[in-house]
Amino acid sequence: MYGATGQAVAAGLSSSAGATKETPLGNLSDRQLDKGADLLVQAEAMVKGTVKATKNDYIELTNEYLSNIPRNIDSARKKGKLDLDAIVINSDERINEQRKFITLLRDAFLQRDVFSAAAEVDDPTEVWYDGLKCDVSHLDPKSDEYKHIQKLFDKGQSPKNSNFYNLLKVGRIWKVEQQGRKSAFDSYAASIAKKPGATGVIPGWHGTRTENLMGVCKTGLVLPKNLPKGVHVTGRTFGLGIYHTPCWPDSGDNTAVDEKGKKYTRHNGALKSMNYSSLRGAYYHHNNTADRGYIILEELALGVPELALKVCWNKPEPDPGNDYIYARAHGHESLANDEVVTFDEHASRRTAILEIMYKK
């Protein structure tokens, strides 16, 4: 995962950043990342029309952005000439693209000392592991724990994820425990379990690109309001929380009952989360070429749900008396997969990383 992060940063920065193996961020500073983030906020206001802007205004903003975040723009050169239209930051899509890159830079910035230390030794494995601040162990494929986690991935997958349905298998599995987080999770879980109507503790999934795994392992999953400047927020549809897909105990069984007494089938959300990974064929990343993707297994402590059968954009928290938002696919006007959105950083803990590949 360190290699994927370093390679993605190196590919995205221009040579003027001075990036090396020891310092993948080169001479970039935290101040420059903040300035780049501020400029993207300005660009967003211009795109939305809250600030009037001409084509030249967009070009000037893009130039200032690139002077702070020196991107590799070789792809925009045609026959030796720079095609400004190919790089100017003048749309939501291009703003989000830059925010995703700043997110990657933030992850690398947090681990800059680890990259430097790893470059000074012949075998950096121990340095990499120590830098994650996680207890990590590889599971034997013959072990009961491996088979249990493998079953969690395979059980009750949704045919609505037709791009991956019945096509994927589990490869290697690493057991992961973020240092200092389990006790806070256990305390939170114990407090919400006492509530009438609480869902309880269930497995869940979080999908992310390979180059972002390092950041998730290091810092955990962070609420949007606590993220550093410029970091890309992927989930807003059902509130400004942390998004997961559930692995319901009854996944694939026609045993769930809705508020009208009607039975329906809840599905395992593993394939939905895989669509956010780096695996080729992922729905949300059409340019993926990787033959391996990764998914994070979690424990979710879920209190009283607020049922969302329609979108609730940018909702800051659930309604009073509720602890999380349950966006249920059954009965929803547009949702294909269940999602749960938590609003406390102690409501989830990472327990394993699964390597996923195609069966053939």
CA dist 212 and 215 (Å) reads 6
Least confident range from 202-216, 224-238, 296-310, 342-356: namely 224-238
The tokens describing 209, both together, are 């690109």
Domain of residue 335, residue span: 133-358
pLDDT tens readout for residues 105-122: 888 877 777 667 767 777
Residue 125 lies in a domain: no
Question: Among the three residues 118, 145, 170, which one is the final residue of a domain in this structure?
Answer: 118
Tally of domains in the chain: 2
Same structural domain, 143 and 100: no
pLDDT at 16 over 90: no
Burial 121-143 (b: 16+ CB within 10 A, else e): eeebeebbeebbebeeeebeeee
Q: What is the pTM of this model?
A: 0.82
Q: Are 42 and 144 in contact (CB under 8 A)?
A: no
124 located within any domain: no
Instruction: Write the pLDDT tens digit of every residue in 68-115.
Output: 999 988 778 877 788 888 899 999 999 999 998 999 888 887 777 766
Average pLDDT of the chain is 91
Cβ(329)–Cβ(310) below 8 Å: no
The domain that contains 47 carries what CATH number? 1.20.142.10
**Is the CB of residue 30 less than 8 Å from the CB of residue 109?**
yes
Residue 158 in this model has a pLDDT that exceeds 90: yes
Q: How do residues 168-181 score in pLDDT, each as one tens digit?
A: 999 999 999 999 89
Tokens 């998730």 appear where? 216
Nearest to residue 185, comparing CAs of 324, 351, 326, 341? 351
Q: Are residues 91 and 139 in the same domain?
A: no
The answer on 298 and 161 residing in a single domain is yes
The pLDDT value given to residue 110: 72
- CA angle in degrees (0–180, nearest 5) for 40-46-50: 120
At 115 the pLDDT is: 64
Would you say 341 and 323 are in contact if contact means Cβ atoms under 8 Å apart? no
Residue with structure tokens 């993220």?
227
